[in-house]
Amino acid sequence: MPVESKVSDAYGKLMESTKELFILQSMGSIVYWDMETKMPSRGVNLRSQQMALLEKISHRMLTDPEKGKLINEIIDHPNYGSLGEVEKRNVFLTKKAYDEATKLPEELVVETARQQALTVNVWKKAKAAKDYGMFRPDLEKLFDLKKRAAEILMDVKGTSTPYDALIDLFEPGMTADMIDKVFTGMRKGLIEIIDKCRDSESQPDTSFMDRGISVEAQRNIAEALTDLIGYKTKGPEAGGRIDETEHPFTTGYYDDVRITTHYHEERFASSVFSVLHEGGHALYEQGLPGEWMYQPVGTASSMGIHESQSRFVENMIGRSTQFWSHFLPELKKLTGDALSDVDLAEFVWAINRVHPSKIRVEADEITYGLHIIIRFEMERDLLAGRITFDELPQAWNEKYREYLGVEVQHDSEGVMQDTHWAGGSYGYFPSYALGNIYGGMMLDKMKADLPDMMEKIAAGSFKEVGGWLVENVHRHGDLHDPADLIKKITGRNLTYTPFLKYLEDKFSQLYGF
């Protein structure tokens, strides 16, 4: 057999095993979706065991010695160089996942999966009861499991701290020190813009934003929004659905990507922007190259790039005057008389109001970054042992007082407001702010490539913007690490300057400074 055929045969076997793993993991994502949306309360203990078993099977498939042999056979083969860029990247990503997974004991992986399901369930109850004491034991237990894994992964990932090992799971190649440098500069710029908005004599009227909108009307608004951006939930071409949950999220794979939201009758905007946010995530998943399905390269580059897509759709498009010049008439139709007296300018100003708040997912576009910086600093301190879980609520409240000037009244609007720590996603939060930065860089390039992009949005067409994102972001999948991808897209290294300029331009027009 020719040497080319031998390396090709080994690569084919490796990709076949990878396909089975992706199929199994996609099953796990739907089991998780069901747990968050449809599962009866009594099902949590059984579900925790189901998810633990799925994780055990996944871990065994990922660490199969045969997989290691195939990886080595391919890499050590004299004809390895004959493989193309995509094939080499698949081998690299498979080897990275294999090397990391083989370092983690199976019992740790299984126990972590089981504890994640239990902790999320306790979090929901504790949040409703406003009782951090109910939540703390499970939260700390899950944290200890994640920290054990991080300490093990430090060596194979080549990181200097456990926190860097966790960050790398979500943002490959990024470290806490690198993030801190970016966040320090960004924080200064954000505070300057916040001060200008706060000191402006002109302030928006937001009184109409808490007018009651029925849940049924909000469901119709959600469907209209997703249809507009091209996320199909109805008919033979549907590849998604919208459901309700405590904390909005997106999950799924290629042809079945599901989003969730929540509806508050006195805060209709909360659902509007969570639907746009999660819709941006879903479009990324569904815009990945179909020919790369079941391959490591056919996944997102990083969670920061993922968040760039969600926050781009939510904010840079979804909070623009052009978007609402088209959609506000539709919103009025769907809400009866509730917003009939609101004009475009006051509506756009109201949804972009700059006002420090206690709740991250309700935060305006500028103060949002401070919410992320707080979580980043707290995660870093937790992993370094500088604060304990008994001290966590007080430390949280002090940072909110210092950074945002707000007083947290109870832990459900404080340390328990997000689901991420309950789900074990330590190291994820920096991705949100990095996503804003990536999005600012992408917007600069998109405007150069599509000078009339916002006119198209005003005309009710998202396909030009969506097409640019598919061509420039989605189609690359995980062919490049995030730093390399953003340079390929924009021609620039990571910089927060375009994002701050975008905010300065937008809010100076709104607030007149």
d(CA 254, CA 87): 20
Residues 6+ apart with CB under 8 A from 479: 85, 86, 89, 297, 301, 485
Q: Which of 436, 397, 402, 399 is nearest to 416 (CA)?
A: 397
- List C-alpha distances in Å: 412 to 297, 408, 417: 39, 9, 5
Give the whole-angstrom CA distance, residue 377 versus residue 109.
26
Does the annotation mark 278 as catalytic? yes
Q: Which of 164, 190, 167, 175 is nearest to 436 (CA)?
A: 190
Query: What CA dihedral angle connects 136, 359, 503 and 223, to 10 degrees?
Result: 110
Output the six-digit token pair for 355: 């006002």
Find the radius of gyration of the CA atoms of the chain.
Answer: 23
Across the strands, what pairs with 258?
Answer: 251
DSSP string, 415-476: TTS-STTTTT-TT-THHHHHHHHHHHHHHHHHHHH-TTHHHHHHTT--HHHHHHHHHHTGGG
Q: Which of 36, 55, 278, 377 is catalytic?
A: 278
Check: CB of residue 475 under 8 Å from CB of residue 352. Answer: no
Which among 133, 170, 130, 59 has a CA at the least distance from the CA of 389?
133
Active-site positions read 278
